[in-house]
Amino acid sequence: MKPVALEKSSRAAFFDLDNTLIDGSSIYYFVRGLVKSGILQRRQVASFALENYKFRKQKQESMTAMCHATKKILDFARGRSQQLIIELCEEIVQEFLPKKIFPNMQRRVEEHQSIGHDTWVVSAAPIEIASIVASKLNMTGAYGTSGEVIKGYYSGELRAGAMHGINKANAIKELAKVKAYDLSQSFAYSDSANDLPLLVSVGNPFIVNPNKQLQNIALKNKWPILVA
């Protein structure tokens, strides 16, 4: 099933990032990039590597692992310049995106764009990564997890919580009010049952590379299943 054109301002397509647009975890690639840059030591990437392996195999992120990863990133960012982190993310995304993006999903983004739909990344990944990925793919914009910034520096706090679960659904509902999107005519793509609030918020949910749990939900609801 392919997206169908409608009036430009009335439809949008929302894409999860990890294991949906790209193969694996963007936070792992971020941490690996910090090691390559000499900012972190190699031993510090071990736990991220293990969680990335589990994530790719199980196709389901662990809430415990996500909290651990978020805390590690916040601890790293505390006291650092936001501009520095953005510059690092630019280099890291430039490195991993061409290798890790699923070609079929990139084409899916381009299909939506070709018929005038706005396209958004909606991810638990740091907003700095999500925004750069969106920019590289000529997407409309991104929502991600945002660390608190005070006078240009990260405080190490996460005041608004992670962009995860119900927060994704709330974000696109608020966006729809601003952009006049008809969510009943819009699209969402995700690999994770954690994104069910996002998926049920739109009229056209698509399941990507699902695990057994999400596959059963998709089959029960007659949602299209895509293999990236």
Domain CATH for 143: 3.40.50.1000
**From start to end of 44-126, where are the E strands?**
118-126
63 assigned to some structural domain: yes
Q: What are the phi and psi torsion angles at 149 (to 5°)?
A: -120, 125
Helix axis angle, 26-36 to 82-100, nearest 10°: 110
208 assigned to some structural domain: yes
Residue type, 38: G
194 assigned to some structural domain: yes
Q: CA 123 to CA 27: how far, in whole Å?
A: 11
Q: What are the phi and psi torsion angles at 190 (to 5°)?
A: -160, 155
**HSE-CB of 96 using CA atoms within 13 angstroms:** 27
1 assigned to some structural domain: no
Domains of the chain: total: 1
- Structural domain boundaries enclosing 192: 8-226
| Host H or E run for residue 160 | none
Mean pLDDT to the nearest integer, 13-26: 94
Reading the block at residue 167, the tokens are: 């927060």
Active site residues: 16, 18
2 assigned to some structural domain: no
Non-local CB neighbours of 87 within 8 Å, separated by 6+ positions: none
21 assigned to some structural domain: yes
38 assigned to some structural domain: yes
Structure confidence by residue, pLDDT tens digits, 50-86: 554 554 555 555 555 555 666 677 777 888 899 988 9
Tell me what pLDDT residue 25 has: 86
197 assigned to some structural domain: yes
Mean pLDDT to the nearest integer, 201-215: 93
* pTM for the model: 0.86
